[in-house]
Structure 1
Amino acid sequence: MSYGSTPPYPGPPGWGGWMPPPPKPGVVPLAPLRLGDILGGAFATIGRHWKQLLGMAFTAYGLALVAIASAIAIAYTAHADRLDRVLDSDVAPGWDDVAPLVYTFGAVYVFGLFVVLVANALIYASCPAVLQDAVLGHPSTFGRVWRRSVRRVWSVLGAVLITALIVAVPLLLIGTAFVALVVTLITLSSHAGEFGWLILFGFLGAVATGPPAVWLWVKFCLAPAAAVFEGQGAVAALTRSSQLVRGDWWRIFGISLLAYIMAAVASYVVQLPFSLLNAIGPSLTDDASTSGAALTIVITSLAFGLVALLVGQALTAAFPQLVVSLLYVDRRIRGENLAPALAEAAAGPPAAH
């Protein structure tokens, strides 16, 4: 279902000042949402639809891993002889020898970066797609979520890329200043005059551009939800997000920041046991009686580590987007009286997708 605009509807009057509680067909009540409703709704969505969310995460990141590994294998196969000559040469290789390697593996790096961005956009699109059923209390399947997400992934990717470019400005400035500072310290300040202006420019530029970048990031944070719920394109979704955030910037900023912190902590807790296993893995292989047993321990440790990394990445990407998508629903309920349309949709059969 697409969450389109709805006319105002006052709802049933109360009896003697008493108002009945709002309907709750799914994970949240169909009324203005409080912090507890939003966080509880996000957790309830994960609890009810974890198969779809984890399935999307494993599929997206798994396909990304296969694509990147294939690109690396093709690049290595094409330049294996040249790479061996460069690495085994006793003399410093010339630019003519190194240039094809730099260009090829640079292209692989750019391709890998793009593939990861597409995978993240697919996860960002899957969260509102899951919430379309979770809010209405309808059952969901991986196939339904996959089709909804794939149809909107390019719009979500465009919105995410534009927002990322805005946020990247202060990050690049502070990174430039940090690198210049490290170079100055390593060279024992012999180039302090040469890099001093760069350090000052980087830090002052980050201070100047940081607050506007955060402000714009919050204004555009509802764009993925708008792209999926309303079928908006990238630019239209950014404009729609800006409209919905207007007048409630600080609340959306605070709840979104809390969601990212909670996701980071949960991801760390999930990955911690596997990190400990990887840390003690080498000592176990030393004590293994046979090489086969040692290899089994290493492979098992790597497999569990990869699973933990995928689960942690899924939590880091999915939980904040579920919270932000519920903020989108909340803003529509508060500003556009979306609740009656949701209640009507919840009473009917699930829409075919």
Structure 2
Amino acid sequence: MTNPHDDAPRPPAWTAPGGSGQPTAGSSGAPVPVPAPQPGSAPVPAPVPGQAAPGAPTGWQSAPGWQTAPGAPGPGGPGWQTGPGWQAPGWRPPALQPGIVPLRPLGLGEILDGSFRAVRANPRVMFGVAALVVTVGVVIQTALAWYLRGFLEEQTAGVADQVDPTGELGASDSLGSSLSTLLTLPLVSIATTVLTGLVIVSVSRSVLGRTVSIGEVLRSTRVWWVVGFSLLTALGSGLVVALGVGLVVVLADSVGAGAAVLAGLTLGLGLVVGFAWFFVRTLLVPPALMLEGKGFWRTVARAWRLTRGSYWRLLGIYLLSAIIVSVVVQLISVPATAVAQFLLDGQADSFASIAVVALANIVADTLATTFLAAVVALLYIDVRMRREGLDVELARAAQSAA
């Protein structure tokens, strides 16, 4: 007797992409039968690449090199199983992140975000020690500036009278104040250098998800190596500038003022470019001195080599960070100075005015130094991960500690 459904349309046999066109074999090697539609049932839908074959037995696997079609379920989807060693194209396991940044080469956003995370990870050190060091430096600077202001105003009275005979510009007061601030600037620079070294230690521990105590940070004697390097670079820079000024003076006496001015402008531009190049090439010296246990000059030479090939990247990231910090500093210092000059007194030389300005300087310097030190520390770690595979060592250390 003829089956009335023999002439019903049947779906084609399902084959895996890249197959031979024959029905897919099950676990026993026999072809997988495709069931015919039963009376009253809906037609069997056409198979979609990336889904299990209709009627395929449990445990079905795709042929080697099989990939899903766009929109098909990925690994772990219903009825989907991969062959041995299958891996999605371009996929890589996520990097380990036990602390503030992932343990892999970092991008710009990750460095900036990691610097903020470093402050939240250990606020006692990042803000407590920073505020302590900056407060000591600013208080001493303010006291010296207050003492030197009157002395310098007497010594520069003749120059101020020549510049501002009527006294309307207030040259005598501003000149003495500016000179006193300039003379006390090295003290603040030393305090900032010490703070930079101490913050670097905290950031390096935060990368591994650890915290360091205030006592442990203050016991870091290698910070004086950072201070010594800063003094050496400042002394060398001062000698170079002095030689340049002396050369311009000699040219002015021997050749003429016009040639001296031209030589001075050219030399000044060259000094700016040279100092920028030297600054970037020595940018990683402080973290290297703080975090590596090698000798002084050996560490300096090694940090110099680390910056080779990364000059423009280091310059761009640090310059952007410095711009962000300068904006924040101005948002703090400018209103404080305005309050001191226009609300408390006109010359900003009373005790209340000096206290307001000093407090604003403490807050601004703390934020600026802490953030920039964290950026430099993360740049050092990033360069070593790119060039030396430091991320592998850090991952091992984090896993062993866990």
The TM-score bracket by the shorter chain reads: 0.5 to 0.7
1:170 Cα deviation from its structure 2 partner: 7.1
**What does residue 20 of structure 1 align with?**
93
1:177 Cα deviation from its structure 2 partner: 11
CA deviations on 1:17-39 (whole Å, 9 max, x unpaired) are 43211011111100000111111
AA partner of residue 43 (structure 1): F
**What is the alpha-carbon distance in structure 2 between the residues aligned to residue 265 and residue 175 of structure 1?**
32
**What is the alpha-carbon distance in structure 1 between the residues aligned to residue 107 and residue 355 of structure 2?**
40
1:215 Cα deviation from its structure 2 partner: 1.5
Structural mapping, 1:265-284, within 5 Å: 265-282=327-344
**1:308/1:200 CA distance change after superposition, 3 Å:** same
- Is contact 1:155–1:227 with CA below 8 Å preserved after alignment? yes
1:257 Cα deviation from its structure 2 partner: 0.9
Which of the numbers 300, 311, 316 marks the counterpart of 1:254? Answer: 316
- SS of the aligned residue for 1:280 comes to helix
Q: TM-score, normalised by structure 2?
A: 0.60
- How many residues in Structure 1 have an aligned counterpart in Structure 2? 287
1:201 Cα deviation from its structure 2 partner: 2.9
Matched, 1:56 2:129: yes
**1:176/1:61 CA distance change after superposition, 3 Å:** farther
**What is the alpha-carbon distance in structure 1 between the residues aligned to residue 142 and residue 327 of structure 2?**
29
AA partner of residue 163 (structure 1): T
**What is the alpha-carbon distance in structure 2 between the residues aligned to residue 163 and residue 229 of structure 1?**
20
AA partner of residue 227 (structure 1): L
Matched, 1:147 2:209: no
Runs (5+) with no aligned partner, structure 1: 1-12, 77-82, 88-107, 185-190, 285-297
AA partner of residue 20 (structure 1): P
CA RMSD of aligned residues (A): 4.0
**What does residue 35 of structure 1 align with?**
108
**What does residue 156 of structure 1 align with?**
226
**1:173/1:259 CA distance change after superposition, 3 Å:** farther
Matched, 1:320 2:372: yes
Matched, 1:231 2:231: no
Matched, 1:205 2:267: yes
**What does residue 51 of structure 2 align with?**
none
CA deviations on 1:65-91 (whole Å, 9 max, x unpaired) are 566688899x99xxxxxx8xx99xxxx
1:344 Cα deviation from its structure 2 partner: 2.7
AA partner of residue 313 (structure 1): D
1:325 Cα deviation from its structure 2 partner: 1.3
1:338 Cα deviation from its structure 2 partner: 0.8
**What does residue 33 of structure 2 align with?**
none
AA partner of residue 29 (structure 1): P
Structure with more contact order per residue of length (Cα contacts < 8 Å, sep ≥ 6): 1
1:195 Cα deviation from its structure 2 partner: 4.4
**What is the alpha-carbon distance in structure 2 between the residues aligned to residue 327 and residue 211 of structure 1?**
22
- SS of the aligned residue for 1:344 comes to helix
**What does residue 222 of structure 1 align with?**
284
- Is contact 2:344–2:353 with CA below 8 Å preserved after alignment? no
**1:282/1:112 CA distance change after superposition, 3 Å:** closer
**1:71/1:255 CA distance change after superposition, 3 Å:** closer
CA deviations on 1:211-258 (whole Å, 9 max, x unpaired) are 233222111110001001113444333212211111111111111111
Task: Choose 1 or 2 for highest CA Rg.
Answer: 2
- Is contact 2:141–2:185 with CA below 8 Å preserved after alignment? no
Runs (5+) with no aligned partner, structure 2: 1-84, 156-179
- Is contact 1:177–1:199 with CA below 8 Å preserved after alignment? no
CA deviations on 1:110-156 (whole Å, 9 max, x unpaired) are 995654343122112022111122111112332222222xx112211
Matched, 1:128 2:190: no
**What is the alpha-carbon distance in structure 2 between the residues aligned to residue 156 and residue 232 of structure 1?**
13
**What is the alpha-carbon distance in structure 2 between the residues aligned to residue 238 and residue 121 of structure 1?**
16
**What is the alpha-carbon distance in structure 2 between the residues aligned to residue 299 and residue 147 of structure 1?**
35
**1:109/1:320 CA distance change after superposition, 3 Å:** closer
- Is contact 1:57–1:310 with CA below 8 Å preserved after alignment? no
**What is the alpha-carbon distance in structure 2 between the residues aligned to residue 119 and residue 14 of structure 1?**
56
Q: TM-score, normalised by structure 1?
A: 0.68
- Is contact 2:344–2:352 with CA below 8 Å preserved after alignment? no
- SS of the aligned residue for 1:342 comes to helix
Which of the numbers 182, 190, 208 marks the counterpart of 1:118? Answer: 190
**What does residue 342 of structure 1 align with?**
394
**1:215/1:110 CA distance change after superposition, 3 Å:** closer
**What is the alpha-carbon distance in structure 2 between the residues aligned to residue 263 and residue 69 of structure 1?**
22
**1:270/1:68 CA distance change after superposition, 3 Å:** closer
- SS of the aligned residue for 1:140 comes to coil
**What is the alpha-carbon distance in structure 2 between the residues aligned to residue 14 and residue 337 of structure 1?**
27
- SS of the aligned residue for 1:123 comes to helix
Which of the numbers 304, 309, 329 marks the counterpart of 2:381? Answer: 329
CA deviations on 1:254-278 (whole Å, 9 max, x unpaired) are 1111111111111111223323322
AA partner of residue 126 (structure 1): L
**What is the alpha-carbon distance in structure 1 between the residues aligned to residue 274 and residue 238 of structure 2?**
12
- Is contact 1:244–1:331 with CA below 8 Å preserved after alignment? yes
* Structure showing the higher helix proportion among its residues: 1
AA partner of residue 157 (structure 1): V
**What is the alpha-carbon distance in structure 1 between the residues aligned to residue 192 and residue 294 of structure 2?**
18
**What is the alpha-carbon distance in structure 2 between the residues aligned to residue 275 and residue 111 of structure 1?**
20
